[in-house]
Amino acid sequence: MSIILAHAKALLIFHFSDMGKTSTTTNPAPTDDSLPISDTKAVEATEPAVEEIIAPTPQILTLNCVNLIGRVGANIEIRFFESGSAKATLSLAVRRRAKDAPPDWFNIELWGKTAEIAANYVRKGDQIGVSGYLKIETWNDCTTDALRSKPIVNANQLHLLGSKQDRLQVEDNTNLDTF
Q: Fold for domain 66-178? A: OB fold (Dihydrolipoamide Acetyltransferase, E2P) (2.40.50)
pLDDT band at residue 74 under the 50/70/90 scheme:
very high
User: How confident is the model at residue 18, as a pLDDT?
Assistant: 45
User: Do residues 15 and 49 touch, judged by C-beta distance below 8 A?
Assistant: yes
Range from 20-34, 39-53, 88-102, 136-150 carrying the lowest mean pLDDT: 20-34
Rounded CA gap, 18 and 39, in Å?
Answer: 28
pTM above 0.85, yes or no: no
Mean pLDDT, range 118-137, rounded to an integer: 94
pLDDT at 14 over 70: no
pLDDT band at residue 48 under the 50/70/90 scheme:
low
Residues of the chain with CATH 2.40.50.140: 66-178
Rounded CA gap, 44 and 124, in Å?
Answer: 75
